[in-house]
Amino acid sequence: MQKIKEYLALAMMMCVPYLIVMADNYIFKNEVNKHSITAISHSVFLIINIILLYKIKDNNRDLSGGILLIIGLFAAMFIRENRENIRDLFNGALHWSWLAIAISVSYLWQAAQQGIRKTLRNLVELHRFGDYNYLICGLILVLVWSRLFGNRYVWKGIANIHYSEALKNTAEEPTQSLGYLIIMYGLVKILRSK
């Protein structure tokens, strides 16, 4: 019965990105751009994932170095997702990549304080949680598949003369949302396993 509940939860989770992109396109007539509900949801999902990772770190002090590396990656991803807002906030004086580098270096330094070898071993030891595979799968979906699937050359080939950035984004952005949700699902399961 537990597995059936899990399958139903995953099926419902798969619907969330679809519902968000439909709200963008049909209710708000917003298309899927950088100021859409879809894009905003990425930031919200990343913040929730970072909070969940901090809770996992608090429960597993022996793995804190590896978890800090993952938090640093997610923090850099959050900055990238909000690059236009950062540019507006600093009137273009600060490029988002410098902020992402600074945050990443900060987390790398914190993780290194745990010992570099120990921190790297932590990343492997995180596999003791079977649900860590959800995090890996979600990252692959966000960082690899959504980028390949959202490549404008693919869409120009499919749409030929009638290429539309909105169409490409409508396909790519929900894929990222799904990846972030899969990560969140795995993190919640890891937290509940303790």
Per-residue pLDDT of the chain (194 residues; tens, 9 = 90+): 888 999 999 999 999 999 998 888 888 777 666 778 988 999 999 999 999 999 999 999 999 999 999 999 999 999 999 988 888 888 888 889 999 999 999 999 999 998 999 999 999 999 999 999 999 999 999 999 988 887 777 777 776 767 677 777 778 889 999 999 999 999 999 999 86
- Using DSSP's 3-state secondary structure scheme, residue 1 falls into coil
DSSP result, 112-178: HTT-HHHHHHHHHHGGGSTTHHHHHHHHHIIIIIHHHHT-HHHHHHHHGGG--HHHHHHHHHHHHHH
Q: Identify whether the C-beta of residue 151 lies closer than 8 Å to the C-beta of residue 101.
A: no
- pTM of the complete model beyond 0.75: yes
Number of domain units in the chain: 1
Q: What is the DSSP letter of 61?
A: G
The tokens describing 11, both together, are 């099926």
- Using DSSP's 3-state secondary structure scheme, residue 110 falls into helix
Domain that holds residue 152: 2-192
